[in-house]
Amino acid sequence: MTIDLGFAWLRLPGGDEVGIVDVPGHQDFIRNMLAGVGPVDAVLLVVALDEGVMPQTREHLAILGVLGVDRGVVALTKRDLVDDEWASLARADVATALGGTPLAGAPMVEVSATAKTGLADLVERLESVLRTAPARRDLGRPRLAIDRAFTLTGFGTVVTGTLVDGAFAVGEEIEILPTAQRARIRGIQTHKRALESASPGSRVALNLTGVEKDELERGMVIVRPGTLAPVSVISARIEVLRSASDSLAHDEAVKVHVGTAEVMARVSLLEAATIEPGASSWVQLRLATPLAVAVGDRFVIRRPSPPETLGGGAVADISGERMKRRREAVAVLERRTAPTAASRLLAALDAPRTIEDAGARSGLDAGERDLAARELVESGRAVPLADALVARESFEAFATRIERTLAAAHRRAPLRAGAPREEVRSSVDLPAKRFSAMVERLARDGRIAERGSALALAAHMPTLTAEQETAWSRARTALGREPLQPPSPATLESEYGLDRELVAALAERGDLVRIGTEAVFLPDAVVRFAEAVVSELVATGTITVARARDLTGSSRKHVLPLLSFLDDRGLTRRSGDDRVLVMPPEQARERVATLVARKKVAQ
Ligand SMILES: Nc1nc2c(ncn2[C@@H]2O[C@H](COP(=O)(O)OP(=O)(O)OP(=O)(O)O)[C@@H](O)[C@H]2O)c(=O)[nH]1
Ligand SMILES: [Mg+2]
């Protein structure tokens, strides 16, 4: 009697090699059977004709259904021990038992191992069934669930398993989960032949350096470092088998079999209080020890005692979040398992994530993922934010939060240009790069505006109280008296009540132009000064500080910052003690006209 897994391979008549995992049939060893049956392309179900359908035959068929193994061949063995009539009765029995299972209608071949009859036919059927199996996907994220770990004299540590989702090559560093230990691949064998690399779907023996046999066991998973992380909470839709002896209750303890691992878990039912036999429901499984699983992995749940297969499902979410609000949780999970790749990816973009991260969460391969991402961005259902993508809905939530923060800041400080950028960023808690992309987009859409180092709602204008307006109107009269020899900011504050903040607000509104730290002018005065300087430069080519002062009726104290201002605006530049024009006259005149209108943005 087979107790544990056995491994062999076979060359098919067409030349292909097929790896074979022999699993125990007896009910006492179902847990070992489960460790071997997961990642297969097809199954060879063996029923002895002299015994017919046994209880374990039904349990095995149910497990195949749960795991989604939906192609195979049935070998009816010991044909030599029964007569024709018995054989045809048994055969009919088996056909009935297959009804409603993934092997319904599968080819059945009568064989005798002792008389060696039917064997060639069996292999041929197996070959044609395998031809219908879909190609193994390569997600560039290889995983190997360990089914055996041992030491081999002259080699050291060896593990075996079925490689899925990617390829491994000799020399590669690997990570062992859940322990997160690192090791290196020293050698690879498939069917006892040494290879440089192994491809997804093959039975593989890895010779590892940097790890001892004692540190490895069945159930652990070998991955490329950093590509998968163990989780303690997984969400899934579980189906309880119609044949289950009882319903599954909330908080019940079950055994979860996934890959080659087996762990205890508690079931949180997210919908009803129980799942009746034949029914299904969204659940969260709280695992006793963390498991390295990926979205889409099929698993089986069993009741520990008396041992019984209850059902299972496919992993829908591995974010590890405990979902408390059940109805919402179910809606999220429904979306994460939606039929199209685009809607699954979208469901994983509830927060800004890199496309790799979102793809892994939705169980998509690189091709599907990239196609879906393009579709989502083109249709506007997702928005790019620097290195990440985010669903439109979540983007809107961020945008609303930013707008609220700004509105509150404007209410608190109506005179201010806006709220400090960092303060706004902390209100949404986005990394700097993504926040900048967010701001850029909202600014482009005309929702918010960048005002120097501050952010504001696009429509925000600093607003003055009635007293401030009165103070401003008195100050303006004073500034207009000798526009190019205006009162200093200190005087404006002491005589007219224009403090720094009010001046900044007036500058923001475009009523004042601040030049340097020590001068404030009316916009018209700045334009007049610039016009005079430009005309002189067009006429004579250069201008001195003294000449500019005399021409405009200003003072040296004011002319110095005004000339620097023109330099800063790219209109003029210093040449010794003089200024010269740096652009053709026509262009200079145009620039003068926009000099203070542009002030508001540049500040
Ligand atoms: N006469 C006869 N005996 C067979 C035939 N096939 C297998 N046997 C015998 O039946 C017994 C059980 O065979 P196994 O191959 O161990 O059966 P199994 O399905 O692997 O059983 P488990 O591993 O316990 O699930 C052995 O003694 C075999 O020699 C056959 O076609 N004819
Ligand atoms: Mg056996």
What pLDDT is stored for residue 597 in this prediction?
Answer: 59
What pLDDT is stored for residue 599 in this prediction?
Answer: 40
In the predicted structure, residue 369 carries a pLDDT above the cut 50: yes
In the predicted structure, residue 135 carries a pLDDT above the cut 90: no
Q: Whose CA is nearest to atom 13 of ligand 1?
A: 1
* Ligand 1 centre distance from Cα of residue 49 (Å): 11
What pLDDT is stored for residue 279 in this prediction?
Answer: 92
What pLDDT is stored for residue 325 in this prediction?
Answer: 67
What percent of the chain is modeled with pLDDT above 90?
A: 71
Find the ligand nearest to 80 CA. Answer: 1
What pLDDT is stored for residue 336 in this prediction?
Answer: 77
pLDDT in tens, 239-251: 999 999 999 999 9
Average pLDDT over residues 115-140: 92
* DSSP code per residue over 442-497: HHHTTSEEEETTEEEETT------HHHHHHHHHHHHHHHHSTTSPPPHHHHHHHH-
Find the ligand nearest to 77 CA. Answer: 1
Pairing mode, if any, of strands 274-275 and 253-258?
A: unpaired
What pLDDT is stored for residue 598 in this prediction?
Answer: 44
* Ligand 1 centre distance from Cα of residue 22 (Å): 13
What pLDDT is stored for residue 271 in this prediction?
Answer: 87
What pLDDT is stored for residue 603 in this prediction?
Answer: 34
Cα–Cα distance measured from residue 601 to residue 321, given in angstroms and rounded to the nearest whole number: 44
pLDDT in tens, 422-462: 999 999 989 999 999 999 999 998 899 998 889 999 888 88
Cα–Cα distance measured from residue 155 to residue 111, given in angstroms and rounded to the nearest whole number: 40
Q: Whose CA is nearest to atom 12 of ligand 1?
A: 1
In the predicted structure, residue 42 carries a pLDDT above the cut 50: yes
Cα–Cα distance measured from residue 213 to residue 151, given in angstroms and rounded to the nearest whole number: 6
Closest CA to 349 of 377, 397, 400, 389: 389
Q: Crossing angle, helix 466-481 and helix 489-496, to 10 degrees?
A: 130
Q: CB-hemisphere CA count at 13 Å for 363?
A: 20
Find the ligand nearest to 29 CA. Answer: 1
What pLDDT is stored for residue 27 in this prediction?
Answer: 86
Percent helix / strand / coil, the chain, rounded to 5: 35, 30, 35
Q: Ligand 1 test: best mutation among 22, 33, 46, 77, most atoms within 8 Å of CB?
A: 77
Cα–Cα distance measured from residue 56 to residue 193, given in angstroms and rounded to the nearest whole number: 35
**249 pocket-lining for ligand 1 (C-beta < 6 Å):** no
Q: Which of 173-187, 254-268, 433-447, 512-526 has the lowest mean pLDDT?
A: 512-526
In the predicted structure, residue 473 carries a pLDDT above the cut 70: yes
What pLDDT is stored for residue 353 in this prediction?
Answer: 95
Q: Which residue has the tokens 């250069």?
A: 542
Find the ligand nearest to 26 CA. Answer: 1
In the predicted structure, residue 600 carries a pLDDT above the cut 50: no
Name the average pLDDT for the chain: 91
* Ligand 2 centre distance from Cα of residue 576 (Å): 99
**243 pocket-lining for ligand 1 (C-beta < 6 Å):** no
**118 pocket-lining for ligand 1 (C-beta < 6 Å):** no
pLDDT in tens, 548-583: 999 998 998 899 999 999 999 889 999 888 999 989
Could you tell me the CA-to-CA distances from 379 to 208, 443, 446 in Å, in that order? 47, 21, 21
Ligand 1 atom, smallest distance to 1 CA? 24
**453 pocket-lining for ligand 1 (C-beta < 6 Å):** no
What percent of the chain is modeled with pLDDT above 70?
A: 99
* Ligand 1 centre distance from Cα of residue 159 (Å): 29
**80 pocket-lining for ligand 1 (C-beta < 6 Å):** yes
Q: Ligand 1 test: best mutation among 20, 59, 78, 82, most atoms within 8 Å of CB?
A: 78
Cα–Cα distance measured from residue 573 to residue 580, given in angstroms and rounded to the nearest whole number: 6
**24 pocket-lining for ligand 1 (C-beta < 6 Å):** yes
**116 pocket-lining for ligand 1 (C-beta < 6 Å):** no
**87 pocket-lining for ligand 1 (C-beta < 6 Å):** no
